[in-house]
Structure 1
C-alpha cells in the first residue's frame, strides 16, 4: 500500500488533527451540523440526525441512520479510563479492554473471529477518560453484534479465568515493549505524565500502567473493576448506518434490557495541576539525534479557552505555512521536525511543542527560536490570513469527518464522544461554532496566559557510548542541576515528527503497511516502502481515520489490536477452529450491494478519466495515477522517482512552495503526492464549493513544477537525515535489509524506495527534470475522480485545467526479470544492542499482480496470516504470547513482489518465534492441512467485508487506482466476489506449495545479538547459516557470514 505525503497544511496538520486527537483522547468530534456562523464561501455542513432514549437500567442509546452502504456500526463507550484506577492498580482499564475480547457467559469463545467471519471489523481502545469498543458489520449481522456487546457487558466475569488473565497480561506487556520500550523517545511518555501531574493525580500514570501493578493483579481484582465500571448506567451505545430503528430498538431492549444497573460512580475531581516554576530534565535514550519537548498546563476539554488554544497550536505548527515550520524548518532549516498541539482531556490538559533539530544544530538553538516565535505572536497576535486558514481547515475537517458511519472517528464515535462527555450527542454545531467564535485577540490572549515560563522542558539526547542496558533507556538525570540549554551540546535527531496533532514533518523514508497485512499491531512486512511526511498525513491520504495522535504520556489510548482467549482458536492439530455460530442469532440474508458506476472519458491530450458520482457529501477526491514508480529509478539513482514526486509540490512557474501550501490551506483543501514501486499518485481532496480554486492549484502542481535547485537541496538534506532516522526504528531496518537480501542490488525492486546516501547525493536538478519530462505524461497516466461532481461538468473543467499538458513517447520499464534464486534458508541478523524486542521478517520473492493465482493467494494468506484470527497471529500472540501481533502478506506489484511473514517478538523468545513461524509456513503447505471450515470462514470474511471498501470517495478512488496501475478492466470488481467464492481447498493447497518454500526463505532479525544469537545457532537448518549484516543488509564483519543462501 502506498502512503502518500501531505502537501498542504491540511486537516491532519492544521485543525482537523486536534479534532481527531480529541476523538481518541479528549473528546471532540470531526462531524458537524449546519452552523449559523458559517463565513462567506465556507461549506454548509450537513446535519447529523439522531434519536436518543434510555433503558430503565440507565443505558443511553443513540440511533443514526445512513443507508448509503449496507453496513452498520455498533459503538459502545464506557465512561472509565486509567484515571479511575488507583496507585498500585494502574493499567487495569487497558488490561480490561483486552479481556473484553475473551468470550462471555453463554459464548465462551473468541470474540474476534466470529466478527471477522461476518465480514466485519472491530477494535477497542482505552485512554485516561473512557474505553470504547466498536464493530462495523454487514447490516444483516446487526443482531449478532448487539448480542455480543450485550453478552460481554452482562456476562464477562462468569467466563473469566486465570489462564485468560495471564495470557492478556503477556499481550499487554508485549504491547508496551513494541510501542514504548523499543521505540525512540518512548520514555518521554512516562516522564511527562509524572512531571506534569503530581502523585495522586489520576493522570500521573500512563494508560498502559505499571507492569509491576499488572503482574500483581489478581483475578478477583480484575473482576471487581469490571463490576464497578462496566455497567449500563456508565455506558453509551450508538448504532449508526443501514438499519431499521424499530427493529434495532427491539434488539437493544431484548439483549441489554435484562442487565442490572450498577452503583453510582463518583468522578475524580482533583485540584487543578500547576507548576510553580520551570522544570528542566534531560533523558538519555537509544537514539542518534536529540529532541526537545516544551510543555505547559492548558485546560480541560470543552472548557472556555480550549478552542483558542487549539487554534494557537495550528497557527504555530499546522502545516508548511505555520510560524514554526516556516521559520525553523523552511527558512532557517535548523529543524527537521516541529509540532504543536493542545492535548485536552476531561479534567486537565497540556499544550506541547516538540522539535527535533537537524544535525549540527543544538537543542538550545531550537528552544531559543521557538521562544522568539511565541514572543512575536504574543506581541502582535495572529494575522487575518492565519485565522482564515485555521477556520476553513476546521470546517472542511468537520465535513470530511461525516463520511464513515463507524470505526475510530466515525459518526457513531463522534455521537458517543459528545454524549459521554457533554450529555449532548448533537453537539456538532455548537462545537464548530466554538471555533468560529475565536478571534485573533483570543489566540493572542491564551498565548500570553498559558505559554509562560512555568513549564516543563524535557531534552532527550543520544545515550553516551558505553554498556547498554537491555531494560530500556537510562534513567533521567535528577531534575536539579541539569545544564541549561545554552550549555547543552548539539546532537543528531531521529524519527521525524512527534506523533502529534498540529505538525509538519519534512520528507523521510518509511515502511508502509503491505497490502493484505493483518491489522494486528505486528511488525510491518517489507516490500511496501513509501515516502511520507507523517504517518497521520498518510492515513488521511488513504481515506482512513488517522491514528490517535496524542501527547506523550497522555490519553489517546492504547488499542487492543484485538485480544482473544488463550488457546481457544487452534485445535490439537494446529488448525484454526471453525467459529461456532450455532449459539448466535441467525442472520438475515446477505444484503445486496450496488457497485458505484464508473464512467470513462478521455481528454484531448490523451488522459483517461474515470468518474464516479458520489453525492452524499459536498466532497471531491481526485487521484492522478502515473504508471511509473521507484522501479524506474536508474541503477545509480535510487530514490529519483520519489524525489521527483516530492519536488512537484515545492513550487511551479507561478507559485512558490509556500504559496501552494498557503493557498490550499486557506480553502481547506489538500494535495498528496506519493511514489510506490509501480506508480506515483497525486491526490486532491477538496470541498465542492472550493473545487475550482483547488483544481487550479492541483493542475499547476501536476503540469508546471519548477524543480528549483534550492528546493532540491532542502529536500535532499531532509531525506538524508530521514535515512539516519531509520536506524533508530527496528521495523524500518528490518524492511530495508529484507528488500536488499531478497532482490539484490541489480533488480528494479532491490534498492530502498527512497534511495540511499550515495544515490541521493548524486541526483541533480537535471535528473529530476528529465525523469518528470520522460514519465509524467497524460498518455502514461489516468485520473480517477470520485465525489460530488457530474461527469460532463468535471471533464470540461479538466479539459481546461490540463490543456497545456502534452502526451509524448514513454519508454517501458521491465520488472519481469526474476531476482537471483535462493537455494536454502538463511538468517540475516542485525545487532541492535539493548533492544527489548526482536523484529522478525521471513519471506521470499512472491508473484506479480497479474498472476492467475491472485485470488487463491488472497484466500490462502487470509488463513495463514492475513487477519487477526489467522494461524500465525493466533499461534504467536494468543497461544504463545510472544508478540503483540503477527501477520503475513503478499505485496502484489507489476513484477514479483515479496511475500513476508513478520512480527516484533519478546527478545528472549526470538528462537522460539522463528520455530513457530516455520511451523505455520510448513503447516499450510500440508503438514497441518487447511480445513473446509477454515476455507469457508476466510472466503466469507472477504466477501462480506467487501462493501466496507466502497464507503467514501477516498476509498472508491483508492480501489480504482488498482484498475489503473495494473491495467484491470473497469468491470474488475463486478466479478470479484464470484472469483473469491470459486477458490477451493485444492487451490489453497496448490498455491501454498507452489509459492511458499520455507526451506529457501530469508529470515531477517533485528535484535540484541548478545541475547539471541546463541539460541538462533541451535535452530535446525538455520543455526549454521547466520549472516551478520548492517542496517543496509551488507556484511557487518568478515567472520559473521556463514552461508547467505543466495546465488550471486
Structure 2
C-alpha cells in the first residue's frame, strides 16, 4: 500500500500570469473536507479548515524524488532538500530555521524515490510568514545557491549517509537490494541518499539545473490545513505564489515494476552479529488493482504474532524477527520476506530459506481464513482514523492523494479497495507473484562468514563508472519575477494565540493494600490518581498507565529484569496464548503495549472509541492475569541475549552504555544498561520475573491518564477494574548526589573500522524542576545547542560540514541530572569536532548569550504552546508529567512569566556555573587504532573503555 505519509510531486514548468482560475471541491463523502484549486502557473492548492487548535500546517510537495535523477547523478533530490534550507533571495542563510523556530513552530523536509516535501507547523498567527518563506525558495532560490553552500551541504549529506547507512549495521540492505532487483538505469536501482562518488563528481550548476527542471509550481502541491481563514489564506497564496513562472512541462513517469528471469543471490558481509535473510520479489505498482490483495497476503504470512512466519520462525526461537511486507512506490512494488536469525539455533541461512518455502507451501494448503481479512480491514480503519488525529497527518494525506491520484482525499476509496478483497483474490496474487517466482535473495552475514549465506553470489552488482559521460552544467540564471510588492519585507505575525494546559478532569480510585501483616501502609499512598481529557476530534481513546520504579528497581548485579518482565506482559495471559491476544487486538484495530524504561513501567493503550470496552477487557486480562509461560520466557531470553550482542555492533548503543558507566559506575544500577548484559540476562530466571511482577506491578506509585472521545463518567466506568488493583508495600530506590571528579578525561570505545565517531561530552548537572534552576538552564542552553540554529550546530554542521547534526542539553529526572553535548561526526574530523565543541562551550561560558539570542528564545518558548497539545498522545504526555512531578495546572503560566522576565545576566550566570568544560568527560566511539594518537593533542588522560556487555 502506498503510505499516506509518502508525498511526491512532478516537475517544474513554464510561467506567466497573476490571475487564478479556481475550482472548489467539497466532497460530501470525503473523510477529510477540503477545497482544491489551481493557480494559472499550475500550482495546485489544497485547503483544509480545522479550528480545533490554533495552529496551521503548510506542506509543499514537489513531484520529484530520486527516481527523477540521471545515471551518475544520484542523490540530487535529497541534496536539494538540504539546499532549500540554505536561504533564498530575500531570506538569509539559515534564516528559514530561525524564523520558524522563533515563531514557536517546527519544520523539516523529506525525500524519497518519488517526491520531496517541505513542511512547517506553526501557530496560526504565523501563516503568512511561512507562505512568504516557501514562495521565496520556490521562485527566488538559485542566485542564493553559492559554491560555498554547495560544498558545505555536500559534506553534510555525506555525513548523513555515514550516520544512517555506512556506519549502521544492515544500513546497506535497501541499496544492495535495489541494485540487484532493478536493471541498471531503472529509477529505483539506486538509493535516495545517493552515492558519494556521484555527489563528488558534480558542481553547483548541475544542482541548479536539477532545481530549474523539477521545482516549478506546476510540479508542486501546496497544502494548508488548520485554523485558517480561507479567504485570507487564498489572498496570501495569490500574493506570494501567483507570479512565480511555470517550470518545464513534465511527463508522467511510466510504471516500471521489476522483472526477473531467475533468482539472484547476493551476499553482504557486515558488522553484524545476527545473520539476516531477505527475499524480495517484484510485483506491481502503487494503486494497481492487485495491491490490496498482496498487502493482505503479506499480513497473513508475516504481519506480527498472528502470522505464519512468526509461528514457524519466532515462536520456536529460530529467529528474533520474521516479517513479510509489500512496500509500494509510484512505479513499482516489492514483496519482501525477512528473517533476523538466532545464530544459536540456526547454522546457516539456507535453513531459513527452507522454512520460508515450507511456510509458503503451508499457506497454499491452509488458504485464507475469515480473520485474515477482518484483521486487515480493522487495521485499515483504525490506521486511517488514528492518522487524522493531527492536522499534519490530514495535510500529508491530502498532499499524497493529490500527487499520486489527482484526488486529495482517497481514504474512503482506499477503505473500499481493501474491503473488496476476497479470499480468492489473495490466493490468485499468491500464485501470480510469489509461488515459485524468481527473487533477489540477500544474505547479510557477519564479516568473514560468507559460508552462512543461502547460496554463493551469482549476480555481480553493476560497476558504476560514469565519469566519462558526465558533463558539468553551465551557469544557470534565475528567472526574474515582477511583483507589485516588496518581497524583501518579512510579513508581520498576527496576534499570538493563547494556549494553556488542556481542560482536564480528575478522579481517584481508592485501593486496597496487601502486605505481610495487618495494617501495612502503602508506601505510595492510598489512591490511584486519574486525569482525563474529553475531546471529540477523532473517535479514538489513548490511555497511559505509568507505574513508577521500572528499571530502577533492578539490582546492579542483575539488570534487565524490569525490561524482560514488561516484554513478558506482552505475551501470553493465563487465559490466552500470545497469538490469541494479538489476534483479538488486531480484529479491533487496537494496541496494548508494556514497556520499561528510565524510571517507569508504562502501559500504553490505543483504541477506537467504539471498541474501547472490548480493548479494556483484554487489558484487564493482560495486566492482572499474565501467563508467564516457560516457552515464552525461554524464547524472549534467547532473543534478548542475541539482541544484546547485536546492539554492541551499533556505535550509538556503545556511546549510550559508555555514558552511563562514566557518569554512574558499574556498581550502580544507573550505570548498567536497562536491558541488562549478557551475563545478567543469562542469570535471570522466570521466577525473577514473577517476583518482579508480584512486587512492583502494583498501584502504589501508579498514575493513569485517559484522553479521547469519551466523557468522564464513561471513562471512569470503563477503567473501573483498576479500583480493585491491590497495592503492596515497596519503596523506590534513592541515590546520593553525584559529583564531577576533577579534570575530565577522554574515554575511548573501540569501533574498529568505523567511518564515523560518536562524540558525547558530559557531566553531572541538575535534577528536574519546572520553575527553578533546571528550567532556566534549559532556556540558557537554547542558543548554545537546543535548536537547529544553535551555535554548536551551525558551527559543526553548517560551517564545518563535520556532522549531520550536533546538539547540547540538560536532562534531569527526580534524582539525577546531566548536561551533554553530542554528535556523530566524520571519523577524520573527530579531534577537530571535539575542539569546536569545547571552543563553543568555553566561549558561551565566558560571555553567554546575546540580547538577540535571548529575544529569539523568548519568542520560541512562549509561542510553541499551540503545537504542544494537539493530539491525544501529546495531551496525555502533559498530564502524565503533571502527575509524575506533582505539578499544578498553572505551572506553564508561571513558566511563561519566568521566560518573559528572564535577562541575559540571569541566564549567563547559569552558563558560567554549568558549562565548565574542564570538568566534562569526553566519550569517543570510533576506530581506536586511528584515533588514539590524534586525541592526545587534547591534553587529557585517555582511557580505553570496555562497555558492559
Fold match by TM threshold 0.5: yes
Q: Which structure 2 residues correspond to residues 191-206 of structure 1 after superposition, within 5 A?
A: 191-206=176-191
Q: Which structure 2 residues correspond to residues 616-1015 of structure 1 after superposition, within 5 A?
A: 616-799=537-720, 801-815=721-735, 817-819=736-738, 821-850=740-769, 852-926=772-846, 928-1015=847-934
CA distance in 1, matches of 2:421, 2:909: 64
Aligned residues, how many?
A: 887
CA distance in 2, matches of 1:965, 1:675: 16
- Is the CA contact 1:855–1:980 (under 8 Å) kept in the aligned structure 2? no
CA distance 1:293–1:95, shift in 2 (3 Å): same
CA distance in 1, matches of 2:877, 2:792: 28
The answer for unaligned runs of 5 or more in structure 1 is 1-17, 28-32, 37-44, 467-473, 483-580, 1034-1048
CA distance in 2, matches of 1:725, 1:317: 22
- Is the CA contact 1:677–1:893 (under 8 Å) kept in the aligned structure 2? no
- Is the CA contact 1:329–1:335 (under 8 Å) kept in the aligned structure 2? yes
Matched, 1:378 2:364: yes
CA distance 1:818–1:767, shift in 2 (3 Å): same
The answer for unaligned runs of 5 or more in structure 2 is 11-24, 462-486, 512-526
CA distance in 2, matches of 1:148, 1:316: 47
3-state SS of paired residue (2:250) = coil
- 1:213 Cα deviation from its structure 2 partner: 1.8
CA distance 1:653–1:178, shift in 2 (3 Å): same
CA distance in 1, matches of 2:619, 2:898: 38
- 1:357 Cα deviation from its structure 2 partner: 0.8
CA distance in 1, matches of 2:665, 2:135: 54
Provide the aligned C-alpha RMSD in A.
Answer: 2.4
CA distance in 2, matches of 1:19, 1:465: 37
3-state SS of paired residue (1:313) = helix
Moved over 6 A (4+): 33-36
- 1:21 Cα deviation from its structure 2 partner: 7.4
- 1:746 Cα deviation from its structure 2 partner: 3.0
CA distance in 2, matches of 1:777, 1:972: 29
Matched, 1:307 2:323: no
CA distance in 1, matches of 2:283, 2:5: 14
Q: Which structure 2 residues correspond to residues 215-364 of structure 1 after superposition, within 5 A?
A: 215-269=200-254, 272-330=257-315, 332-360=316-344, 361=346, 362-364=348-350
3-state SS of paired residue (1:343) = coil
- Higher deviation after alignment, 650-659 or 338-347: 650-659
Matched, 1:411 2:394: yes
Q: 1:1037 aligns to what? A: none
Q: 1:569 aligns to what? A: none
Q: 1:126 aligns to what? A: 111
Which of 161, 167, 180 is the aligned partner of 2:165?
Answer: 180
Matched, 1:396 2:315: no
- 1:984 Cα deviation from its structure 2 partner: 2.4
3-state SS of paired residue (1:396) = helix
Which of 425, 442, 445 is the aligned partner of 1:461?
Answer: 445
Q: 1:424 aligns to what? A: 407
CA distance 1:21–1:588, shift in 2 (3 Å): closer
CA distance in 1, matches of 2:492, 2:579: 58
Q: 2:35 aligns to what? A: 51
Matched, 1:97 2:17: no
3-state SS of paired residue (1:584) = coil
Matched, 1:1032 2:938: no
3-state SS of paired residue (1:23) = coil
Which of 145, 150, 158 is the aligned partner of 2:135?
Answer: 150
CA distance in 2, matches of 1:1009, 1:403: 47
- 1:1031 Cα deviation from its structure 2 partner: 3.5
- 1:939 Cα deviation from its structure 2 partner: 2.4
CA distances 1:866-919 after superposition (whole Å, capped 9, x unpaired):
211111111110111000111122222111133221111000000001101111
- Higher deviation after alignment, 135-144 or 219-228: 219-228
Q: 1:447 aligns to what? A: 430
- 1:803 Cα deviation from its structure 2 partner: 4.4
Q: 1:577 aligns to what? A: none
TM-score (norm 2): 0.90
CA distance in 2, matches of 1:734, 1:645: 25
CA distance in 2, matches of 1:22, 1:255: 26
Q: 1:556 aligns to what? A: none
- 1:118 Cα deviation from its structure 2 partner: 0.8
With a CA cutoff of 8 Å and minimum separation of 6, indicate the structure with the bigger relative contact order.
1
CA distance in 2, matches of 1:271, 1:922: 56
Q: 2:497 aligns to what? A: 591
CA distances 1:723-774 after superposition (whole Å, capped 9, x unpaired):
1011111000110011111101233412111111222222223322222222
- 1:477 Cα deviation from its structure 2 partner: 7.2
- Is the CA contact 2:8–2:403 (under 8 Å) kept in the aligned structure 1? no
- Is the CA contact 2:777–2:910 (under 8 Å) kept in the aligned structure 1? yes
Q: 2:351 aligns to what? A: 365
Q: 1:1046 aligns to what? A: none
- Is the CA contact 1:677–1:749 (under 8 Å) kept in the aligned structure 2? no
- 1:949 Cα deviation from its structure 2 partner: 1.7
CA distance in 2, matches of 1:26, 1:344: 16
3-state SS of paired residue (1:148) = helix
CA distances 1:831-865 after superposition (whole Å, capped 9, x unpaired):
11211101111101222113721221221222221
TM-score (norm 1): 0.82
- 1:1011 Cα deviation from its structure 2 partner: 2.0
CA distance in 2, matches of 1:646, 1:795: 28
CA distance 1:975–1:672, shift in 2 (3 Å): farther
CA distances 1:815-846 after superposition (whole Å, capped 9, x unpaired):
3x123642111111111121110111110122
- Is the CA contact 2:5–2:396 (under 8 Å) kept in the aligned structure 1? no
Q: 2:518 aligns to what? A: none
CA distance in 2, matches of 1:256, 1:635: 61
- Is the CA contact 1:963–1:972 (under 8 Å) kept in the aligned structure 2? no
CA distance in 2, matches of 1:774, 1:595: 35
- Is the CA contact 2:657–2:947 (under 8 Å) kept in the aligned structure 1? yes
- 1:971 Cα deviation from its structure 2 partner: 3.7
CA distance in 1, matches of 2:234, 2:26: 28
Q: 1:537 aligns to what? A: none
Q: Which has the larger radius of gyration?
A: 2
3-state SS of paired residue (1:255) = helix
CA distance in 1, matches of 2:895, 2:633: 43
Q: 2:506 aligns to what? A: 600
Q: 1:23 aligns to what? A: 6
CA distance in 2, matches of 1:95, 1:46: 36
